[in-house]
Chain A
Amino acid sequence: MADHSSDSHGDVRIDHSHHAHAVSSKLLAGIYFALVVLTIVTVVLAKTVDFGDLSLLVAVAIASVKSTLVMAIFMHLRWDTPINNIAFLSSVIFLSLLFLFTLADIFSRGEANYIGGQPVGLPG
């Protein structure tokens, strides 16, 4: 199917339909710098501050920021088509379901662990 962006040379047609989107070197270096800083923040916080019950949340939150930077810039998702964004987003949604029901399991066990006053199964 010919389109406006093709030139013909005999049997061979040159197709100009695809245009590359190159990310600037400056932005790539900036993201790398941010990732290294966040790695240092992760280590320093883990070694110096006690967040108590929120510690897992803090660790995962910083990792999520790093992960998002890699995805949006290094993986070009910020400039990518909606369908590729949806493909990725679907994995996040289903993963959230898995984590949600795992957490629901942990927090809703309570009395169910005791049958006839005796502890059974996990968690001990």
Chain B
Amino acid sequence: MSDHKLVTPTPAGFTTHEVAHHFESAEQEYQAAKLGFWLFLATEIMLFGGIFAAYIFYFMNYQSDFQGAGATLNWKLGALNTLVLLTSSWTMAAAVRNAQLSQKKQMLINLGITLVCAGGFMVVKYIEYSGKLHDGVFFHIWEPVGHYAALQDLEFSQLFYRIYFTATGIHGVHVLVGMVLIAWLMLRGSKGHFHSGFYTPVDLVGLYGHVVDRIWIFLFPLLYLVP
């Protein structure tokens, strides 16, 4: 290796990115980061895969109870949240494009919309969760009231709700983590760290956000519209 500092091309007004000394080129650094991240995403898919396997097993055995329990979820709020997450995925993909083209202002706007959408998703989730806790439905169903009262007559409704809270709970934590990451991107982005010569963090956080969105794409029809 040479003693030279290796940097990527920096458009005017942006901060120069120095390639870490153990990489031969900017391309190698980028590809190494991306492969590592794809492997992490594979483990995320396996994590949720286990929950989906549990769902499939109990759904196949107790389909009618699952349908009955699923009907007590508010599918309109679920659909609203699906649209909110899809929108955030779109603006995130647009933010990556902006970073690649050194469009700082548009990137910050798109990241801002993504952050607001993720926050909106959590607000809807909070409304759903607090309503259920108030009416006696959580991992354990105790004296459910209102339209949840029907759950008492379904032997396996508690199983459904355990899967519901486990899946949406872990998913919600992922959304919160995503919000922190996007806020971090906005902070660094406002300092001019991301441009056509270096945008790896924006790209990778984008990938993470899309995987969280893709998991919800499966959770929504399976939980809110039990087949």
Contact = CB atoms under 8 A, between A and B. Distances in A.
A63 B59 CA distance: 17
B19 interface: yes
Interface string B198-227: 010000001100110110011011100101
Q: How large is the interface on A (under 10, 10 to 19, 20 to 34, 35 or more residues)?
A: 35 or more
Contacts, number: 179
A122 B207 CA distance: 39
A80 to B, nearest CB: 8
Contacts of A59: 221-222, 225, 227
A70 B79 contact: no
Contact of A94 (B46, B100, B101, B220): B46
Interface of A: 1-3, 6, 8, 11-18, 20-23, 25, 28-29, 31-32, 35-36, 39, 42-43, 46-47, 51, 55-56, 58-60, 62-63, 66-67, 70-71, 73-75, 80-81, 83-84, 87-88, 90-92, 94-95, 98-99, 102-103, 105-106, 122-123
* Closest 8 A/B residue pairs (Cβ): A55-B227, A91-B42, A46-B225, A20-B100, A17-B27, A123-B61, A32-B90, A87-B38
Interface of B: 1-9, 19, 24-31, 34-35, 38-39, 41-43, 45-46, 49-50, 52-53, 56-57, 59-62, 75, 79, 82-83, 86-87, 89-90, 92-94, 97, 100-101, 196-197, 199, 206-207, 210-211, 213-214, 217-218, 220-222, 225, 227
